Chains A and B, each alone.
Chain A
Amino acid sequence: MPQIDEEKCDGCGLCISVCLNHGLTIVNEVVARVEGVDCDWCAQCEIVCATGAICCPFEIVIER
């Protein structure tokens, strides 16, 4: 699931509205993941976040 920095989150909710899987919600005025919902790693939440509070980092591996 996307990584969330609660300190940076201003609770604007834009990431929630772009998540096609409905995998994000607001808890205590900051964004939180919805348990049990899968993430497509589309990174739309990262794209719309103005504060850099949510991101979808990639692990880079060499095929063996």
Chain B
Amino acid sequence: MLSKLELLKCSSYFSGLGSDELEAISGLVFEKSYKNGAIIILEGEAAEALYFVASGVVKVFKTSSDGKEQTLAIIRPRETFNEVPIFDGDVNPASVQAMTEVMLYGIRVRDIGNILHTYPLVSTNVIRIMAGRLRHLIALVEDLSFRHVIGRVAKILLEYATDGTSPGPRLTQREMASMAGTAREVVSRSLKNLEKDGFIKIDRQRIIIKDREALNNIVSPLFETNVTDG
């Protein structure tokens, strides 16, 4: 596992700072550990700290009132989460859950304020990081709002399906996402929706098309136009 100082050294937040400055900041870093499945941050609660993942993986997600979950990001070692409420002072906009045993390093809100005041270079780094996060979320909003992703996924399923008598190509959700021009999370949701509607059945490593005609109907003319238009 990374030490506090090692993590600060490789963090984009503190790039450009010298050893003495990083040493001073590391004195403000605290540790927290969580078990697999633990909720680390709850949507709507007050933000306490900016977190760096030292080991393990966490997911950032939103939950709708009817219980649907949308993963916004997977955060791995050396990456950070909880920036938004730290910098705008509002409540946590999403929840965060440990996907493994997790060790986090954190810097409390008041200490972040002091760091920004003392080291203006960090503010420049923050702007760059936040712009990157915004770009990722814009792409996700585009996928969820405007694209007929389910139609694209249905088209991929029809194109790559075999009758099961001979081995056909095998696709990961990541590959389907790449083909559909969307995020893996959106493909996952599309497959779940198709299964819920009874059009397909996901049986471990097999996706069984149960209603070919229904999938054909989902692949709408509008979708074809979008693909042609690139």
Q: Which residues of A contact B (CB under 8 A)?
A: 12, 14, 17-18, 39-41, 43-44, 46-48, 50, 52, 55-64
Contact = CB atoms under 8 A, between A and B. Distances in A.
Given A12-B77, A48-B57, A60 B172 contact: no
Contact of A61 (B99, B101, B161, B175): B161
Given A17-B100, A61-B164, 14 more contacts: A14-B100, A17-B57, A41-B204, A43-B173, A46-B173, A48-B74, A56-B173, A59-B162, A59-B205, A60-B206, A61-B168, A61-B206, A63-B208, A63-B209
Nearest to A19: B100
Contacts of A17: 36, 56-57, 100-101
B76 A57 contact: no
Contact of A48 (B99, B101, B210): B99
Interface of B: 36, 56-57, 74, 76-77, 99-101, 157, 160-164, 167-168, 170-175, 184, 201-202, 204-210, 212
